[in-house]
């Protein structure tokens, strides 16, 4: 790379990333062949004001969240992370803290086992980080394979990111646990590979919230899901409606045969610190692509006396 402010910035980023950045400088990255595994590729964007507000979190934490959100898409397919490409749009006001942001990205990429192999840098009016992730898997799991008779399992404890956002929008500081869950999410790569290897029929991450992403799984698989609200794993001081609707979770929701789920529940504590919980089932029904919630009292009754529980719709990048 020759002289110039743009290339100086790239050199600064490479210096921050050290051995995480490999073969950067050519027009395109060349990835090694992988025998016996399928390539899995995804892309995710992190945009100021749409995904975070600068007053809420540090520059380092912005980097953490941007990388974790993208890598979580690999975990959702049962893939490991191999390579990352980053495209930055950087306003003048972010120039002095770009190194801190790069350190946050490095924290997540290093933990994932991937390497940074390229990207792009541009100037613009709002900070934007577009992250392309390349992974590989021996057992690729999509969201389309859930079958009647399966049970639904979810990793982690839910509600923290939603609680943090609720506090910030109310001009309050979130509880420590909730804030940490928002600013330092962990892609469940090892858990995703374990669920895939065990025979998961369908899986996705719940970045839009458990209920919203369960609807995505139900629609993609053409099935009827039942979620038992009383079984949803709650974070500290989190209620069920918030746990069901909280987005930005980056936990995994999977559909498994019951015997596989039972075996995993026995093995899981010895393998992972992240809990695994059965939260529902896939049932045979003429009504497909829907999610039914059971196991909690109704918040309101209709004129017919039929109980109805109301929930937020889930995370929406175009909502304001």
State the pTM of this model: 0.87
For residue 301, the model assigns a pLDDT of: 39
Provide mean pLDDT across the span 299-303: 44
- pLDDT tens profile 253-267: 999 999 999 999 999
The alpha-helical segments, DSSP class H, found in 158-279 are 160-169, 176-183, 189-198, 210-221, 240-245, 258-271
> Of the CATH numbers 3.30.1330.10, 1.10.760.10, 3.30.300.250, 3.20.20.70, which one belongs to the domain with range 5-137?
3.30.1330.10
User: Domain segments of the chain: what residues?
Assistant: 5-137, 151-308
- pLDDT tens profile 152-185: 999 999 999 999 999 999 999 999 999 999 999 9
CATH number 3.90.650.10 given to 151-308: yes
β-pair type (80-90, 115-123): parallel
Mean pLDDT (the chain) is 88
């Amino acid at each position: 790379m020759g002289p110039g402010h743009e290339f100086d910035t790239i050199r600064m980023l490479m210096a921050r990333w050290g051995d995480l950045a490999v073969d950067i400088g050519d027009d395109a990255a060349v990835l090694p062949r992988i025998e016996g595994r399928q390539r899995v590729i995804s892309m995710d964007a992190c945009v100021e004001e749409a995904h975070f507000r600068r007053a809420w979190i540090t520059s380092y934490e912005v980097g953490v969240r941007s990388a974790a959100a993208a890598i979580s898409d690999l975990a959702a397919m049962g893939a490991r992370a191999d390579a990352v490409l980053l495209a930055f749009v950087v306003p003048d006001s972010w120039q002095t803290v770009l190194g801190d942001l790069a350190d946050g990205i490095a924290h997540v990429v290093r933990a994932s086992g991937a390497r940074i192999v390229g990207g792009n840098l541009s100037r613009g009016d709002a900070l934007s980080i577009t992250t392309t992730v390349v992974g590989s898997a021996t057992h690729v799991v999509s969201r389309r394979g859930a079958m009647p008779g399966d049970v639904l399992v979810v990793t982690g404890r839910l509600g923290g990111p939603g609680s943090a956002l609720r506090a910030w929008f109310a001009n309050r500081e979130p509880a420590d646990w909730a804030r940490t869950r928002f600013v330092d999410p962990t892609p469940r790569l090892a858990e995703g590979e374990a669920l895939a290897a065990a025979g998961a029929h369908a899986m996705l991450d719940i970045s839009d919230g458990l209920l919203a992403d369960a609807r995505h799984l139900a629609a993609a698989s053409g099935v009827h899901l039942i979620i038992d609200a009383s079984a949803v794993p709650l974070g500290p001081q989190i209620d069920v409606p918030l746990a069901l609707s909280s987005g930005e979770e980056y936990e995994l929701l999977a559909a498994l045969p019951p015997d596989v789920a039972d075996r995993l529940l026995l093995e899981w504590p010895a393998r992972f610190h992240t809990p695994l919980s059965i939260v529902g089932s896939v049932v045979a029904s003429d009504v497909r692509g829907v999610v039914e919630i059971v196991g909690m009292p109704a918040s309101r009754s209709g004129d017919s006396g039929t109980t109805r529980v109301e929930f937020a719709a889930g995370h929406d990048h175009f909502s304001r």
